[in-house]
Amino acid sequence: MNKPGKRFIAGAVCPQCQEMDRIVMYREDNDEYRECVSCGFKEKQVFKQHQRELDTRVNQTEESVRAETQVLNFPPINNADKK
């Protein structure tokens, strides 16, 4: 039986066999691993202790996009110098 929590990474390309959507991620003892189900490639993921951030990053991305938009919409300060 497969270990629970094993999940495919959509769009991930295996660095070894270049196959797409063959990479699974799973946690083992506090560490996360990437593994290719096609060629057997396996790599330990090095993260900080806040592994939960991986799941919340989707929401954070939306906020950072909004933040970038705010920057873009910010009126140029140079307007004050125009006479």
Binding Zn ion (rule: CB under 5 A), the pick from 9, 20, 39, 65 is: 39
Task: Note whether 42 and 34 are within 8 A (CB).
Answer: yes
Residue 26 interacting with Zn ion (CB under 5 A): no
For residue 23, how many other CB atoms are within 10 A of its CB? Answer: 22
Find the part of the chain contacting Zn ion (CB under 5 A) among 36-44, 47-55, 56-64, 70-78.
36-44
Q: Should residue 21 be labelled a site residue for Zn ion when binding is judged by CB under 5 A?
A: no
Q: Does 9 help bind Zn ion (rule: CB under 5 A)?
A: no
Which one of 4-12, 17-25, 26-34, 54-62 is the stretch in contact with Zn ion (CB under 5 A)?
17-25
Q: Tell me the sheet residues that pair with 7.
A: 25
Q: What angle do CA 15, 21, 25 make, to 5 degrees?
A: 75
